[in-house]
């Protein structure tokens, strides 16, 4: 069973260095998040995911952890994070931290000890070969850099040595089994990290690269999934209200096999989620479903989504997001009118939705230089745009001291401006979240079925419990006549849709919710 609070959870992802700077040093911090909690409550947000805030040399924006149990000084102190937990809980907001289990920074004390020539308790904590001239086939590795005779494996960037959870198919003597003492010690060390934060008020974890633990795993990642099953058993026993969401994008593996409560529907090229918002790398231009008159076809989404939904629906939730720190902002290609429809869909589908900071006002993807390993992702990590004070309200620091530059466009969207406009994207987002929270039929576990599936540039109608929902992404008005519409009335709309006899007349770029 999933924690009951996930049924009506609406998450907000905060990239801490870019959200709100409380001390004027140009970098967002934990006290800055606390100062903005009332704003999040006004949005209807009741859960947070905070990207890594642990001590780090920041070669990969904090995903290179130097100390799992210490807050990075640039964000504040451990006590500040405990205060954040408490302030959130007083407002009915849950908090997930980002867990990075597959690797650490090469400055982590575990790795420093593992590099020593003399054998010690950390010698098996990472993946090492037996001597410096022995590589790791088909995997990145570094050799000849440490006193220890051996090459060590990388999990991602060069500064991120891979933690040792074992190898399922072993071809070399130095490869540990997933149930070896050293692999089990790594697993228990990660459990210890989780317990540390759960005991201090954390409500669970988003898990980075969750499928990357056991090397040479089989096609369905059974060995890695069994590690997460073991961790899930620990949570069920000791922290039954804690939640796990995986960066995996395979609900069968993550939820059914691994026991995650939620699995992100990631923006992978040509998968169902990608066809909704970011189908602009295919031949012939952008064919995203929510791009008006772009030739989008909801069947491309459904053919990928429905099998994933059916296999996992009784065990956990698929999580769709507006964007995340690794993904281009949707406002990069979609207009505010198109974004309203996309958000309406995301917030009324099954599973647990995630809103990325700034997406509620349509923050743009910016062309900025790479920062802390962000590369092309950096443009989606720029400072939150609050108002028309210095640096758009993000920080009082001089502009050249900001973590990243703000949007200098004269029409850069801000919270302040959009709060004054009832037709703004921000106000529509607030209404959509309120709608989801009001109707249990729109929440995570209510039934879903497709009712009317059109072709290119045609509407899509779907049922959630007793509610019927219709979206028309095209720029043209369309009339739908199906038996399911009989006896319904409109309870929510974006755009000028109306009932006419037994038909629903949908204005161009409109969204409608009907109830019997």
Q: What is the mean pLDDT of residues 6-20?
A: 98
Residue 150 CB neighbours (<10 A): 22
Q: Which residues contact 71 (CB under 8 A, 6 or more apart)?
A: 30, 53, 54, 55, 77, 78, 80, 81
Which pLDDT score, from 0 to 100, does residue 455 have? Answer: 82
Query: pLDDT for 224-236, tens place per residue?
Result: 999 999 999 999 9
pLDDT at 284 over 80: no
Task: Determine contact, residues 337/344, Cβ cutoff 8 Å.
Answer: no
Q: What is the mean pLDDT of residues 287-315?
A: 96
Which of 3.40.50.720, 3.40.50.150, 3.30.2320.50, 2.60.40.1180 would CATH assign to domain 447-515? 2.60.40.1180
399: left (phi over 0), alpha (psi -120 to 50) or beta: alpha
Q: What is the mean pLDDT of residues 372-400?
A: 98
Helix axes 222-238, 181-198, angle to 10 degrees: 40
Of the pLDDT bands very low, low, confident and very high (cuts 50, 70, 90), residue 467 is very high
Domain ranges of the chain: 4-105+183-440, 447-515
Which pLDDT score, from 0 to 100, does residue 501 have? Answer: 80
Of the pLDDT bands very low, low, confident and very high (cuts 50, 70, 90), residue 492 is very high
Of the pLDDT bands very low, low, confident and very high (cuts 50, 70, 90), residue 135 is very high
pLDDT at 374 over 90: yes
Q: What is the mean pLDDT of residues 241-249?
A: 98
Which pLDDT score, from 0 to 100, does residue 281 have? Answer: 77
Residue 290 pairs with which residues in a beta bridge?
A: none
Helix (H) or strand (E) holding 340: helix 336-348
Of the pLDDT bands very low, low, confident and very high (cuts 50, 70, 90), residue 110 is very high
Locate 308 and state its tokens: 């994933």
Task: Determine contact, residues 174/130, Cβ cutoff 8 Å.
Answer: yes
Which pLDDT score, from 0 to 100, does residue 161 have? Answer: 98
pLDDT at 443 over 80: yes
pLDDT at 303 over 90: yes
Q: How many CA atoms lie within 13 A of 176 on its CB side?
A: 22
Which pLDDT score, from 0 to 100, does residue 37 have? Answer: 98
Query: pLDDT for 21-63, tens place per residue?
Result: 999 999 999 999 999 999 999 999 999 999 999 999 999 999 9
Tell me which residue of 440, 491, 487, 443 sits closest to 469, measured CA to CA: 491
Q: What is the mean pLDDT of residues 425-446?
A: 98
Q: What is the mean pLDDT of residues 238-248?
A: 98
Mean pLDDT, the chain, integer: 97
Which of 3.20.20.80, 1.10.340.30, 3.90.1300.10, 3.40.50.150 would CATH assign to domain 4-105+183-440? 3.20.20.80
pLDDT at 454 over 90: no
Which pLDDT score, from 0 to 100, does residue 46 have? Answer: 98
pLDDT at 89 over 80: yes
**Environment class of 200 (CB within 10 Å of its CB; exposed 0-12, middle 13-18, buried 19+):** middle
pLDDT at 495 over 90: yes
Which pLDDT score, from 0 to 100, does residue 6 have? Answer: 98
Chain-centre distance for alpha carbon 267: 10
Residue 424, CA distances (Å) to 110, 362, 380, 413 in order: 50, 10, 21, 10
Q: Which residues of 106-133 are buried (b: 16+ CB within 10 A; e: fewer)?
A: bbbebbeebbeeeeeebbbbbbbbeeee
pLDDT at 263 over 80: yes
CA angle (229 as vertex; 228, 231 as ends), nearest 5? 60
pLDDT at 502 over 90: no
pLDDT at 215 over 80: yes
Q: What is the mean pLDDT of residues 127-140?
A: 94
pTM for the whole thing? Answer: 0.97
């Amino acid at each position: 069973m999933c924690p009951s609070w996930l049924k009506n959870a609406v998450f907000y992802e905060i990239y801490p260095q870019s959200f709100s700077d409380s001390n004027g040093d140009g970098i967002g911090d934990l006290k800055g998040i606390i100062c903005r909690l009332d704003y999040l409550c006004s949005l209807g947000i009741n859960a947070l995911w905070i990207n890594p805030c642990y001590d780090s040399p920041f070669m990969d924006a904090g995903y290179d952890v130097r100390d799992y149990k210490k807050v990075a000084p640039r964000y504040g102190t451990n006590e500040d994070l405990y205060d954040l937990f408490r302030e959130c809980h007083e407002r009915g907001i849950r908090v997930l931290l980002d867990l990075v289990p597959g690797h650490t920074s090469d400055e982590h004390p575990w790795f420093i000890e593992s590099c020593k020539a003399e054998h010690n308790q950390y010698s098996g904590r990472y993946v090492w070969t037996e001597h410096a001239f022995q590589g790791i086939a088909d995997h990145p590795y570094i050799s000849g850099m440490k006193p220890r005779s051996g090459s060590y494996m990388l999990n991602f960037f060069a500064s991120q040595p891979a933690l040792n959870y074992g190898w399922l198919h072993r071809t070399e003597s130095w490869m540990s089994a997933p149930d070896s003492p050293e692999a089990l010690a790594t697993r228990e060390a990660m459990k210890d990290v989780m317990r540390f934060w759960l005991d201090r008020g954390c409500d669970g974890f988003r898990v980075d690269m969750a499928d990357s633990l056991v090397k040479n795993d089989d096609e369905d990642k059974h060995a890695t999934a069994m590690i997460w099953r073991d961790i899930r058993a620990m949570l069920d026993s000791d922290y039954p209200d804690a939640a796990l969401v995986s960066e995996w994008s395979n609900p069968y593996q993550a939820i059914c096999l691994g026991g995650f409560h939620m699995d992100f529907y990631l923006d992978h090229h040509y998968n169902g989620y990608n066809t909704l918002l970011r189908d602009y790398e295919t031949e012939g231009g952008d064919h995203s479903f929510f791009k008006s008159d772009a030739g989008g076809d909801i069947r491309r989404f459904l053919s990928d989504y429905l099998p994933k939904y059916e296999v996992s629906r009784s065990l956990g939730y698929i999580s769709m997001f507006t964007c995340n720190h690794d993904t281009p902002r949707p406002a990069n290609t979609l207009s505010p009118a198109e974004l309203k429809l996309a958000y309406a869909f995301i917030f009324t589908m099954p599973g647990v939705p995630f809103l990325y900071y700034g997406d509620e006002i349509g923050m743009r993807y910016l062309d900025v230089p790479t920062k802390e390993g962000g590369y092309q992702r950096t443009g989606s990590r720029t400072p939150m745009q609050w108002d028309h004070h210095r640096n758009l309200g993000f920080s009082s620091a001089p502009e050249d001291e900001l973590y990243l530059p703000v949007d200098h466009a004269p029409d850069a969207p801000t919270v302040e401006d959009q709060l004054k406009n009832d037709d703004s994207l921000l106000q529509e987002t607030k209404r959509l979240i309120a709608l989801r929270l009001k109707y249990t039929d729109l929440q995570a576990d209510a039934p879903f079925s497709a009712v009317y599936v059109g072709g290119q540039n045609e509407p899509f109608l779907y049922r959630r419990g007793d509610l019927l929902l219709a979206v028309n992404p095209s720029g043209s008005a369309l009339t739908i006549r199906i038996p399911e519409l009989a006896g319904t009335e409109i309870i929510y709309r974006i755009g000028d849709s109306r009932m006419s006899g037994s038909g629903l007349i949908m204005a161009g770029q409109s969204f409608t919710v009907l109830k019997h």
